[in-house]
Structure formats: C-alpha cells, structure tokens
Amino acid sequence: MKTHSDLPTGTVTFFFSDVQDSTGLLQRMASRYKDVLERHADIIRSSLASHDGVEISTEGDSFFAVFRQADQAVAAATEIQQQLAAADWPAGGTVAVRIGLHSGTGELGHDNYVGIDVNRAARISAAGHGGQVVVSEAVRALAGQAEYSDLGLHSLKGLEKTEHLYQVEVEGLPHKFPPLRSTGARPNNLPAMASEIIGRETEEAQLRELVAANRLVTLTGPGGIGKTRLALEVAGDVLNDFEMGAFFVDLAPLEDPDLVLPEIASTVGIKGSAKGDLGSALSDGERLLVLDNLEQLVAAAPLLAALMAGAAPLTVLATSQVAL
C-alpha cells in the first residue's frame, strides 16, 4: 500500500487504462484468460516503471497510476500501446486497451488521490476505444512534443464542464477510431452523478451485458438498495450505443397508469401520447428508456408492452420494488 510520502503532489498526470471487451476476451480465452491478463499487466507495469509512473491501484483489468510529468505519462501510454500491439497473443486473445490521461492537482486523501481531476481522468479513459490514447487539453499543453489529433469538445458522464480532448498519434499503430463514447455524442437527460459508484463493478458489467442483449431489463429489489443509481450508471455507460439517446423517466410522482405514455413522450420530446403514435415516433432509431419506480404503476405494463411492440428499436431498463 502506498503512503503519502510515496505519492507525488502538486500538478501531476493521472493515468487510467482498462481492457476493451474484457468479458468477451474471458469467454474466448476461458482457462487461458488469467495468463493473457497477467501478460497485459506485465507490459503496463514495465512501462509505468520505466517512465517513473507510480501505480496507485489495479482492479480486474484496469490500472490507475500517476506521473510527475505529463510527457512521461504520454511516453508510457504510447509505449504500452506499441508493446500490446506487438505482443504475440493466442488466437482470439488480442488485448485492446483504452488509456486516458489528464493533468491536474494531485490532492491526497488517506492513501489515494481524491478530487475532480481524478474523476475527469477516469471519464476520459472510459470515452476512448481499445488501442487509443485520449488526453485532456491540460496534458497536450504540458506534453507538447507528441503528435496529437484534435477530437473536439466533449461532455463526459457525470461532469458539468466540457473537455477538449485529443488523441495521441502512436507511430506504427492505427489512427482512426470510432467516435468517442462521450455523453455529448447522444441526446439524453441523464442526471449528473455527484460521485463515482463504488464496489458494484461486477453488477454494472452484468447489467451492461443484459441491456445489450435484451429489449426489456428490470432491476428488482427493495427500496434504498441503489437500483436507480446503478441503472443511471449503466445508462451512461451504454449511451453511445443508442443513436437516439437515453432518457430517464421518473414514474414516482404519477398515480394514474394512463399518464405513463404522456410522461414518456414529454421526456423524450415527442408530441402525441397515444401508444400507436408514440410507438411510431420511437421507431426512428435505437433509444434507451430508464423507467424508474415502475412498481408505482404496475397496471401500465400492458401499455408499455404495446409501446415496445410498436417501437422495435426501443430498449427499456426499468427499476421496480416488485417483480413485473
């Protein structure tokens, strides 16, 4: 465990990485997954050490590290991507890692870093794709010797301030990636979260997979256990998978089941609340609805079923205290 004396303070550069599609990699590799993951970790740790990076924590396939100098962080990230690309992985076992960097204030808590700059770095990493290094404007300004591509302004999940992001051009590796997975890329009304969700990474990953594979997913459990928080976290994670966006509909204030469809229409910004009209309007592209507190209006279930039948691209993630 690192102590305060081990950790740099002042202006530092935060490093976050994680493996893209780690669940798919696990399924493909089966018993070999552990060896593949350890080799990936060895590559990252070697580059962190050679560029004076300090490993703060690792969980599963993700790394959090810090550098005293932004150019060291960029050099390490570049080297990691080159070595991962050059590694001789087993068939189906290629490891694609997204890396995000942000320079900010190294504010120490007990034995770790705290503050908005840590969250911003984590969100920058989450917006990228496997094989890509995405950095903030602060990193680009401090590490000007690298070659960058301007990715423009982006809204990051849970953060009010937009961030100008750049891609580090890594020699010998692909330069073209899909659009960043930032919230600004898709319409949404998802409320910003005041803090990171802690200790529910497994449930979050499982729920993401369920939403990707099913048109209706219901989180069921007693009040106060965090169903809404988890649903919103996952909705933000998968936002860019839905071309027409993701929308949060709080059903708690409603008492009449007939008001559910008008509430959905109003939230999404569609005129007309008849299920036929609304279903047709919602068929213009893939869209995610997060219906919160559905137990308030169990009688509305047939209306929702009819709505989904008429709106093929619609996915619903619901929370309820009772099984539906």
Answer yes or no: is pLDDT of 163 > 70: yes
pLDDT tier, 318 (very low <50, low <70, confident <90, very high otherwise): very high
Widest Cα–Cα separation across the chain: 64
Mean of pLDDT values over 245-272: 87
Q: Which two tokens stand for residue 118?
A: 């840590």
Nearest to 285 by CA among 247, 318, 249, 311: 311
Mean of pLDDT values over 10-22: 95
Mean of pLDDT values over 121-144: 95
Answer yes or no: is pLDDT of 249 > 60: yes
Give tens-digit pLDDT for 77-99: 999 999 999 999 998 889 999 99
Mean of pLDDT values over 201-226: 91
One-letter amino acid at 314 equals: L
Q: What is the pLDDT of residue 1?
A: 46
Answer yes or no: is pLDDT of 3 > 60: no
Sketch out the chain's domains with CATH numbers: 4-180 (3.30.70.1230), 201-320 (3.40.50.300)
Residue 126 phi/psi, 5-degree rounding, is -65, -25
Output the pTM of the full model: 0.63
Q: What is the pLDDT of residue 316?
A: 95
Cβ–Cβ contacts within 10 Å for residue 84, how many? 24
Mean pLDDT lowest among 17-26, 126-135, 236-245, 290-299: 236-245
Q: What is the pLDDT of residue 121?
A: 96
Answer yes or no: is pLDDT of 243 > 90: no
Q: DSSP secondary-structure letter at 188?
A: B
Q: What is the pLDDT of residue 270?
A: 80
Q: What is the pLDDT of residue 63?
A: 97
Chain centre distance of CA 194: 15
pLDDT tier, 193 (very low <50, low <70, confident <90, very high otherwise): low
Provide the sign of the torsion angle of the four alpha carbons 137, 141, 142, 144, taken in this order: positive
Answer yes or no: is pLDDT of 269 > 50: yes
pLDDT tier, 275 (very low <50, low <70, confident <90, very high otherwise): low
pLDDT over 90 percentage in the chain = 55
Q: Which two tokens stand for residue 19?
A: 């493996």
pLDDT tier, 5 (very low <50, low <70, confident <90, very high otherwise): low
Q: Within 13 Å, how many C-alpha atoms sit on residue 40's CB side?
A: 29
